[in-house]
Structure 1
């Protein structure tokens, strides 16, 4: 929800950054892979309990994830393949970060498992909505708005890294938010599907 509500306010800053990347001829897919690599480094950092570096790397990965799409739009090089790769690698960064936390703080075991179930459910509804609903935005596919989006996820990951003794409670609350996001979208997709029949 934060992404949807505030992205427009920050986009001019992202555009300035993206122009600099265009000048050094960094292609969108290369930026996507760099974002992925930085996200994996963040996950390794949290696994060895380097919390502040892990948080900084996580947010840098998120920034690069924003910039790859911005560069693609500025250079008119957006592609379905690039959008597909971006979606998958984003989820892999999130999965890796949870694995890093699970390695270092195994006491949140059931919360981690439930997180994966929640993400599978939520992401499935997101992909189905993207395939069904007409795309009216600037992205390569319809992006359905949800309560829990990427910024919320990174904020929660930051809290998990800063307050590891509260991992179970924080993650279980976030799991509930992810499930609610998926259920709202699931209901919307079903209603839309019925209107097509």
Structure 2
């Protein structure tokens, strides 16, 4: 919901940093892989109840997630880069609740339901992107991307805010996780209605 609104604020410094890294030979894929490793490390820290360490790693992961696209825009966007970026995102989104599930048995069911809701959200996002790409649809709301990004109520900004809340108040993880799982399901419904409005009864051009 807030991703597109934050773009004008975060893109200029990220793009400047991306150009700086590109001039020094750093590739977008290297940044993506580093971000994936940092995200997994955050989940491991959560599993061992090192919540403040995990908070720092999550912030680093998100910075790297923004930088890989900035480096790509400073050089060139590739299909594999887009693939690696989205796989890294969803690996991170799943790894964090899994870390909480390993930290405490009381977190297991809420974490499972949150992962299930992330799965449905991801499927709706990617299915929309595939069909939108097939029809030649484009959007610049989330910046220049390798494929179509549809908006939703629960997006990256909201997810990171929820993860931070979980780390600041880990004892309340079950309540926070269940509430956000519900918000993710609302997003799936929202995106499905948007798909019906955009695609139902129409044939792709050409």
With structure 1 as the length reference, what TM-score do the two structures score? 0.94
CA distance in 2 between partners of 1:8 and 1:106 (Å): 41
2:139 match: 136
CA distance in 2, matches of 1:112, 1:48: 16
Deviations 1:123-148 (A, max 9, x none): 11101111122123321111001111
Matched ranges for 1:99-138 at <5 A = 99-133=98-132, 134-137=137-140, 138=144
Give me the whole-angstrom Cα distance separating, in 2, the residues matched to 1:195 and 1:62. 39
Say which SS state the counterpart of residue 32 (structure 2) adopts: helix
Displacement, 1:3? 1.4
Aligned residues: 196
Displacement after TM superposition at 1:92 (Å): 0.8
| Map of 2:70 onto structure 1 | 70
Deviation at 1:149, TM superposition (A): 1.1
RMSD across aligned positions (CA): 1.3
Contact 1:111 1:172 in 2 (8 A): yes
Q: Which residue of 1 aligns with 2:25?
A: 25
1: CA distance between counterparts of 2:23 and 2:9?
23
Contact 2:139 2:149 in 1 (8 A): no
Deviations along 1:75-96, one digit per CA (max 9) or x if unpaired, are: 1x21111101111111111211
Unaligned runs of 5+ in 2: none
Look up the match of 2:82.
83
More helix by share: 1
The normalised TM-score by structure 2 is 0.90
Per the TM alignment, residue 21 of structure 1 is displaced from its structure 2 partner at its CA by: 1.3
Q: Name the residue aligned to 2:16.
A: 16
CA distance in 1, matches of 2:109, 2:45: 22
1:168 alignment partner, one of 170, 174, 192: 174
Question: How much has 1:23 moved relative to structure 2?
Answer: 2.6
Contact 2:14 2:66 in 1 (8 A): yes
Superposed CA deviations along residues 48-84 of structure 1, whole A, max 9, x for unmatched, are 1111111011111011011101110111x21111101
Asked if the contact 1:105/1:164 (under 8 Å) is kept, the reply is no
Range with bigger deviation, 122-131 or 26-35: 122-131
State the Cα distance separating 1:2 from its structure 2 match: 1.9
Whether contact under 8 Å (2:94, 2:118) holds in the other structure is no
